[in-house]
Amino acid sequence: MIEQSFESGQPVNKKIKRIVEALLFAAEQPMTVTQLQAVFPQLAMPEKVVIEAALEALCTDYKNQAIALHKVASGYRFQVKTDMAPWVARLFAEKPPKYSRALLETIAIIAYQQPVTRGDIEDIRGVSVSSNMLNTLLDREWIKVVAHKEAPGRPALYATTAQFLDYFNLESLAAMPPLQELQALALEGEMEI
């Protein structure tokens, strides 16, 4: 029931690996190691390193498959690989949402400059930011109010959330492309920011 993990050298319990695989397939949201561990009965609860070894082994198992185990900000999840996305998209009648340039600029400013106030966003964009846009981002749970600035009116300070990172398939803010790269692409006309 034990196999050797290639990367860490940690032994992999095949039964734990199968349970973790089933849990991740059944879960509606990404799951952390702690959440996976909590599913086990108290007396049979494996150590976190055992679950981490199972996750590592699953990553290796799915390396050459159409789906992969991917770590995002709020945990691990199975997802379709990018090259298979056009085929899978045909299953769904709904078109993916289109985001306005203003919304994308606003979320980019929040992501790269956080925490920021609405006034900060308006200063950077050079135009006013509608309440509807911020409400849309709050409703999607891509941003949240993290504090209030010590200034007249005590404006809200906005920052991104784990749901934002999950949606854009990022493990952390550090995984975002450097702002200079995005600006260079915009200057070359390859991308609008």
- Tokens of residue 147, six digits: 């504090």
Q: How many CB atoms lie within 10 A of CB 78?
A: 16
The model's pTM? 0.65
Where helices occur in 42-161 by DSSP H, the ranges are 48-61, 85-89, 101-113, 118-125, 131-139
Spatial contact of 122 and 110, defined as CB atoms under 8 Å apart: no
Q: Domain 2-89 classified CATH 1.10.3720.10?
A: no
The whole-number pLDDT of residue 5 equals 47
- Tokens of residue 120, six digits: 């900060």
The whole-number pLDDT of residue 169 equals 86
Spatial contact of 1 and 12, defined as CB atoms under 8 Å apart: no
Residue extent(s) of CATH 1.10.10.10 domains in the chain: 2-89, 101-187
- The DSSP call for residue 30 is -
pLDDT in tens, the chain (193 residues): 445 544 555 678 899 999 999 999 999 999 999 999 999 988 788 999 999 999 999 999 999 999 999 999 999 999 999 899 888 888 876 666 788 888 988 999 999 999 999 999 999 989 999 999 999 999 999 999 999 999 888 999 999 999 999 988 889 998 888 877 766 655 555 444 4
The whole-number pLDDT of residue 50 equals 93
Burial string for 28-41 (b: 16+ CB within 10 Å, else e) reads: eebbebebbbeeee
The whole-number pLDDT of residue 98 equals 80
CATH topology of domain 101-187: Arc Repressor Mutant, subunit A (1.10.10)
